[in-house]
Amino acid sequence: MEPPVPKMTGEKPMGRVLIVAGSDPSGGAGIQADIKTVTALGQYAATAITALTVQNTMGVKEAIGVEPRIIIDQITAVLEDVGADVIKTGMLYSPDVVNAVVDTISNSGFDGPVVVDPVMVATSGDQLLDDTAVTLIRDRLIPLAALVTPNLPEAEVLTGRKVTTPAEMMQAGQAILEMGAPAVLVKGGHLKSALLTDFLITQDTITELSAPKMETRHTHGTGCSYASAFASLLAAGYGLHQAFPVAHAFVQAAIVAAPGFGAGHGPLGHARAKVMLPDG
């Protein structure tokens, strides 16, 4: 029997998610995965593209940044017309792009949540951000965030400490809170364990969700999709702790529904991932 389709009512307006991230021509990660996730969860996706990449399931071959002025204009064009309930950031490519994005959001009057996926390392292991840009994300973007969603390698880069166990994940999450974020999702997909645990950490709570590790190579774009699932649910009016199990379940379902494309880390099956939205 198929899982139930998310419950959407005609009376509730679509939440608007503005995604600020890079493009993946293979469709597995970046802007493409973000749009698929937001759409699958019944919300509306708008975008500001920060970089064009040449990549597929085998890895990232090349990337070129979009001129910061064009990124600023994209964000401004969306906010002054369509608007946004949540802004989600992904790959920001360079120090100039990080500064442009932070300045534009800060000066726009936008007062909704910002979900920061600190994209620094691709699933393939390719480094996507230089040290100066990492410092700016730590010092300028994270304090702007409502939620930061690092995986283990990203948590290590942000905190400067090893993160290989659940205890170290919680410690890293606390360290990122101290950078100014009110909530951190530390994702355990890189744990060397048969059971993978994610931690949603705030100043007052630590909530964990675990799932058995899936023996699959189809994990391209899981981080982008997870953060965008959170952004979608926040845009729909749900709280962080309501969104956590649904976003987690969505990514799990999308991995199971992977179409099997590509010779490397294959894409997820966003359109076939069915989850039930929470009541209220």
Catalytic residue annotation? 187, 219, 221-224
Coil, helix or strand at residue 215? coil
Q: Largest Cα–Cα distance in the chain?
A: 50
* Alpha helices (H) along 49-194: 68-81, 95-108, 131-136, 152-159, 166-177
CA neighbor of 238 nearest in space, from 15, 37, 6: 15
Q: How far apart are CA 225 and CA 72, in angstroms?
A: 24
Q: How many CB atoms lie within 10 A of CB 233?
A: 27
**201 φ, ψ (degrees, to nearest 5):** -120, 125
Instruction: Identify the residue whose tokens are 């071959």.
Output: 61
DSSP β-bridge partners for residue 234: none
**What span, in angstroms and rounded, lies between the C-alpha atoms of 25 and 214?**
26
